[in-house]
Amino acid sequence: MAARTRLTLEAYFETAANKQAVIHRGFREGVMESFDKLAVHLANLGAAS
């Protein structure tokens, strides 16, 4: 079985309005897309070894 690593992202905002503005600009979708790319990259590294 392969080793596993947990990645946790925490985001802090000064105000609820700032948080809503970031969410409105697609923060979650952008982060999830980046995590998907990271998963593919790590899978490729594992396949290469």
Q: Any idea which residue has 């998963």 for tokens?
A: 39
Q: How many residues are there in the chain? A: 49
Q: What tokens were used for 46? A: 């594992």
pLDDT at 11 over 80: yes
Residue 40 has a pLDDT of 94
Say if residues 42 and 3 touch (Cβ distance below 8 Å). no
pLDDT in tens, 25-49: 999 999 999 999 999 998 998 877 6
Residue 7 has a pLDDT of 86
Domain boundaries, given as residue ranges, for the chain:
16-48
**The model's pTM:** 0.65
Residue at 49: amino acid letter: S
pLDDT at 1 over 70: no
Residue 25 has a pLDDT of 94
